[in-house]
Amino acid sequence: MKKQLVFIFTIFISSIIFSQSFYDLSIKSIEGDTINFDQFKGQYVLVVNVASRCGYTKQYADLETLYQTYDNLVVIGVPSNQFANQEPRSEAEILKFCTDKYNVSFPMTSKINVKGQYKHQLYAWLTEKNNNLVDDFKISWNFNKFLINPSGKLIGHFTSKVKPLNSKITSLIK
């Protein structure tokens, strides 16, 4: 029994030691540059998988309002075409759509996979407990939101139905 407890404790500690920090991650921007998440230390970060042909696409407006309202918040839009082919556009077309229709000024990433075997490392961190040290989360549709605090800890996951300006989100941003 004692050996089993030591083994379990060792596995637990090693998962904490070897887990990747949010700030170790990076992703390609929609313009082709690299977004290094370490530049967001000390800020809240709201990561949202987005699509331009979704019933929730109007949330872009609220995401932009949120981004403009809170000086200590960065919103990151992450296009994905994994839900009913609702983001078939090229990255240039996505950027034009977002800026023309919703005046989006927050950072946008390249189009990536947010679920499944080939999901991007950002979403592996956001959705897997062994990476984020909080819980496993399933992304079931576009406009799922993940809130990271200024210390790089995941503090919230919100489904598509939770609008960006909902107090469930805004109450966590201090």
Alpha-helix residue ranges (DSSP H) falling in 31-174: 59-69, 91-102, 121-127, 129-132, 167-170
DSSP helix/strand/coil, 112: coil
Cα atoms in the Cβ-side hemisphere of radius 13 Å centred on 95:
12
Interacting residues of 121 by C-beta distance below 8 A, sequence separation 6+: 20, 25
d(CA 125, CA 131): 5
Radius of gyration over alpha carbons of the chain, in Å? 17
- The set of catalytic residues is 54
d(CA 87, CA 54): 8
Residues 3 and 17 sit within 8 Å (Cβ to Cβ): no
